[in-house]
Structure 1
Amino acid sequence: MTQCLNPNCLHVNLTDTKLCQQCNSTLLLMDRYRAVSLLGQGGFGRTFLAIDEFKPSQPRCVIKQFLPEVKGKKALKKATELFEREAARLDELGKHQQIPELLAFFNQEERKYLVQEFIDGEDLSKELKNQGVFDSKKIKELLLDLLSVLDFVHNNNVIHRDIKPENIIRRKKDNKLVLVDFGAAKETMGENTSAVGTIIGSAAYIAPEQAVGKAKFASDLYSLGATCLHLLTNIEPTELFDVAEGEWIWRDYLQDNEIDYELSRVLDKLVEGATKRRFQSVSEVLAALSGNTNPNSTYSSRSDLIKAQYSNPSSHKNQIPSTRVKKQIQKLELKIFEYDWQTIADNSGLIIGKKSHLQTYLHHGKAKYITINLAKDITLDLIGIPGGKFLMGSPNNELEREKEESPQHQVSVRPFLFGKYPITQAQWQAIMGNNPAKFVDSDVSLSKKPVERVSWFDCNLFCEKLSQKIGREIRLPTEAEWEYACRGKTTTPFHYGSTIGAELANYNGEDVYGSGFEGENRRETTDVDRFSPNRFGLYDLHGNVAEWCADSWHDNYHNAPTDGSAWTNNNPKDSRILRGGSWLHLPGSCRSAQRIKSDPKSKSDAFGFRIAASI
């Protein structure tokens, strides 16, 4: 069959017809290209599937007919410019095997036509509809495949400006991804890319700077990241961004997709709103995907710690350490572990008028984690904590609440990694080469007891050394992160429930909280894996050792940040915060909301810490 190209006709004719039987228009373009069927229609014109009769094999091709639906001379001029630009870009870039080749560009019967190579395949929006959401493996393959194309495009000083699932076709013959539709592409040679220009691109995928007409190479990387998020969730990117909170919430829409740590970090950085925090080039993205980075480069901590010299042992006691670290030593793989966690029954109490153990319920859970190798046979696990919102602080009716736990306020926490356990003596010794603890096992290298008698400064030095060892930023948790992780989606005083028992945690059991019972007072620390974890798979959050946080002390939560970041005045003399209580504290001091104030130089056999890392 032959498709008439007259916009007012579009009659379908017999195959060998040269003139339209309806309107008498010429059916062959350049006496060579015969339109077979209409493929689609957009704001700038129509697209037809065609054959090239000039060649014996009569290969298929695509005819684009310029037919803009615009009003006014200025709009028509711009549309013409974009159509001609697409032809020019394809002429320059079509030599790449994953970009359609330009076959012809000409005028016929006072209409402009562009003829390009036909890509036999399905675009990714259709693939998403037909096959469902992409998994982690397919997203990695997509990135690796398309990044090489983008590298070629950018090296030719061209910004595509319209990367989206519909403009990526999976070619049938080799399964390669082909980048199409260069109508929005813009050459950057000799231009100021910061100058305000025309806003072009699909709104759901364009970067903030492109939305105001200032597209950069990094804008294409943003669009690629937004495309990946759409394919992972089957939700348009505009729905994956919480405008009120100013953050991406794409993880909330994952459909049982296991996204590994490295890929998660790459996706987050691809869609950073601020261009300075986004990947700047294809090579940076590829390096992050492979786990390889420039060994001479450094990056800064996200925490608000003051950067200071910490290399002089005689002067580091009262300084806040630098958190700049060298990159790339260990590549960390996300794994999954399963565990049982407990909650206390609401009706725990007396049985036949006598004291009894707390009645508990057992639940099964699983969590994602990474393992860091510290030394021979000594490792450290970090649990992946999903992002979310929670009420920080205690409600007015919570037993033994303190005024510094108010006002209760909603906080949004981004996903992060958090220590499965407090840092043990074996882990501390592997990094620091000593053991300051009071409650020491006979073989420290095997000790599961938490390290204690460490100051806030000591803990930051540990984080800095570990960061340098593995090439990734390790830090103390923010106070909001700690409480969010401890609660594990609960609102009760403890993650176990409304009370606590000495069989569930290590604290001074000679006192009781709420409907709890008296129990053992062990008067020393215990192994960090002795008791049941919380819902997130984290152990020892109530009792054993109180844990240092990054924040400065504030007497209440008035004007506290609501994004989960550290609230610090960047003053080395500031008092700091510990959370969770310890072996010597009464149960009320081990609540999820309880805050302990201490000098950052303090070293107590009740003070320890666990580490965190941003994703």
Structure 2
Amino acid sequence: MQSGKILRQRYKIIDTLGSGGFGDTYLAQDLDLPKKPKCVVKHLSPKTSDPAVLPIAQKLFDREAEALYELGKDSDQIPKLFAHFQEGTEFYLVQEYIEGQDISKELTRGKKLSESYTIALLKGILSALAVAHKNNIIHRDIKPQNLMRRKSDNKIVLIDFGAVKEINVLTTANQPGKTTLTVAVGTPGYMPSEQAIGKPKLSSDIYAVGMVGIKALTGKDPHNLPTDTKTGNIIWRNEAQVTNHLANILDRMVHEYFPQRYENSTEVLEALGLTTSPQPTPTPTPIPVTKPAKIVLASTSNANISIQKFKTVTVNTRGEIISRSPGQAEVMTENFDNGVTLEMVKIPTGRFLMGSPETETGRENNESPQHYVDVPEFFMGKYPVTQAQWQAIMGNNPSRFKGVRRPVENVSWNNATEYCQKLSQITGKKYSLPSESQWEYACRARTTTPFYFGKTITSELANYRGTFTYADEPKGKYRQETTDVGIFPPNAFGLYDMHGNVWELCADDWHNNYNGAPKDGSAWLDENENRSALRGGSWLYNPNDCRSAIRDFNFRRDKHFDIIGFRVVCDGGRTL
């Protein structure tokens, strides 16, 4: 478009700001206003003349323009939309002109910026993005060139939403009437894999923001950073000087598997603000512990009890999330002197129906008869005991699948009880394996469905043999190994990984059914010390074997398997 051209007898083109496969952007003047202020005109020209496609493109354009209009009203970090119109087969947006420069001028190649700068940058981007995510709008093309530093107040302004680019995707896909995105919109290096195949999510934006943060810290463009050949995750920490706190947040933001990222920008802002995050972040670098570490004794004073917030999900038989609910839990923390912590969630007193009904798919006879159990208050490990937590107490790591945030496995019942004894001696609290009734009560978290997620599970909610199904859900992933704890949604008590990942050892002697079982929450011990109960299923097992009611057993002495781990319980008081 030539300089001097006037659109709609109002917007005079001054200069070209940029060109791309999706259209051109121009600097213009609004001739209708007294001071003839500058504005930005975006010209999108669908690459088709198909009369069946153009009406769909127009409808899509109007919809996205309306969304941009609402966003501009709600945030001063998103340019205001002044007008949108169509002339023939050409589409135009008129937006606020942001005086300043994009942050690519700040993120120059080879220049490593400070952690404080990076945190401030991330907060600026995420605060703008939060408005879009609140309205369920995905930006789709976050990169340094689309992040403007406004001259007047130094704020980050988020420009060039990718949603309107869907017009060209639609018109070049040669699929009249199909309005779902099937071609990638985004920039390589900042675009995660699910977006590259045309299935962007809110967490796709989180990936892009994380990559901007990593570029700031490392001075390297994302495509110049190596990836782990096994997981696909970016390897970048060795290129930056950064605390574990921020590095862990960034690792989670850019995780290759989208369910393991933060769900939206608000969750990342909470983590950056040092508020409680509902899920932990993976730490790929091993902790060099060669001997048992000292532990700073925790007490039960209010100073050592935190309130942690999280979100739970409920699914239908097709595995579709039908509701999301906020939750919170009291968490007591034991602090290890090497930075490792053990978080214990307070489980409230309650009564529940233990076992499974005869109508439950996949049930076993050893899950009956159903019976009510009254469980006193106790504290339970937020996650299965991790390899870092095991190594800090025991001074070794027997696990097959190495990872400091993965559950410890290849431990026997005797090994697990020895861990509890040592932890008790160091902390002055009585730690033990949970009873079966404590475990099932804590897992169910007041639900009566086969899983605490509802009527089924999916491989986006738990780690199990996802190529098998339980109800009407589609087949999912079979990862064939353990995963970091806490990357899947918790239950209503704030516990993670109760379904799948590793079978969890219990204190009880094994019994073939519940005839004569205790009804007070205690472990069922009758000197049958050869076998002990397992609960929860593992990465190797089908969904049937990951239900809240599932039971199995293992021999106690010297039986080590990579599918078996454990978590601990205590009453929270000092008893030693």
TM-score, reference length from structure 1: 0.47
Which structure has the greater CA radius of gyration? 1
TM-score, reference length from structure 2: 0.49
